[in-house]
Amino acid sequence: MTVDNFRAIANPAESEVSQHLSPLEKQLCRSPSRVEVVGKRGNHVPILFTADFRGAVNLLVSKRKEGNVLESNPHVFAQPKSESHLRGSDVMKKYASECGVQCPQALRGTALRKHVAIISQVLNLRENELDLLAQFMGHNIKVHREFYRLPSDILQTAKVSKILWAMENGQQQLLTGKSLDEITVDVHEGNH
């Protein structure tokens, strides 16, 4: 992220589109600020800032001179006395290893993106919602589907067992006109 990217920070609530959002979505847009940076393959990737994080980055940017950051270095997370910058993935890897957790690889950006992508499949998002999420994560929809697919054995067991349970317990009426995600069963009733 460059200093210019950061200075161009925007609040999504100020958009003309906000009038079409639900009250909850409008409330959620009031807090974070948004910056877009260029990611892999030239894609624009958004970053959301909480008010606290935005304040911390403001402080960092305001103290560049005291931190020996060259004026010619455009990066927010600049290396002192260099044109280079800190790589977020390297910082996450270092501190994930140093913090003493049992599974430090789970605290990496790739693992987080994979977790969010897999959870999105359980949510059964509509096509446009899945596309929004993939774009936000810096993926195209094809990458999102191919590389972050929930293991089919888990998905099949979780979803299809609802149908089988309802049929086994004589409650086929629970299935009428519903998608797999809309079916709810009480597994504590009947002969499971």
Q: Do both 28 and 41 map to the same domain?
A: yes
Q: Do both 13 and 54 map to the same domain?
A: yes
Buried (b) or exposed (e) across 80-103, using 16+ Cβ within 10 A?
eeeeebeeeeeebbeebeeeeeee
Determine how β-strand 33-38 pairs with β-strand 44-49: antiparallel
Backbone angles phi, psi at 149, to 5 degrees: -90, 135
Structural domain count of the chain: 3
Amino acid 192: pLDDT:
42
Q: Do both 15 and 71 map to the same domain?
A: yes
Q: Do both 63 and 77 map to the same domain?
A: yes
Domain endpoint, select from 85, 107, 126: 85
Amino acid 63: pLDDT:
97
Domain endpoint, select from 50, 85, 120: 85
Q: Do both 69 and 145 map to the same domain?
A: no
Q: Do both 8 and 24 map to the same domain?
A: yes
Q: Do both 3 and 24 map to the same domain?
A: yes
Q: Do both 164 and 146 map to the same domain?
A: no
The span from the CA of 33 to the CA of 127, in Å, is 26
Q: Do both 57 and 106 map to the same domain?
A: no
Q: Do both 3 and 76 map to the same domain?
A: yes
pLDDT tens track of the chain, all 192 residues? Answer: 999 999 988 766 556 666 777 787 777 777 788 888 887 777 777 888 888 999 999 999 999 999 999 999 999 999 999 999 999 889 999 999 999 999 898 888 878 777 777 777 667 677 778 778 877 777 767 766 666 565 555 666 777 777 777 777 878 777 777 777 777 877 665 544
Q: Do both 26 and 78 map to the same domain?
A: yes
Range of the structural domain that residue 63 is part of: 1-85
Q: Do both 49 and 98 map to the same domain?
A: no
Domain endpoint, select from 42, 68, 85: 85
Q: Angle at the Cα of 49 (from 47 to 53), degrees rounded to 5?
A: 130
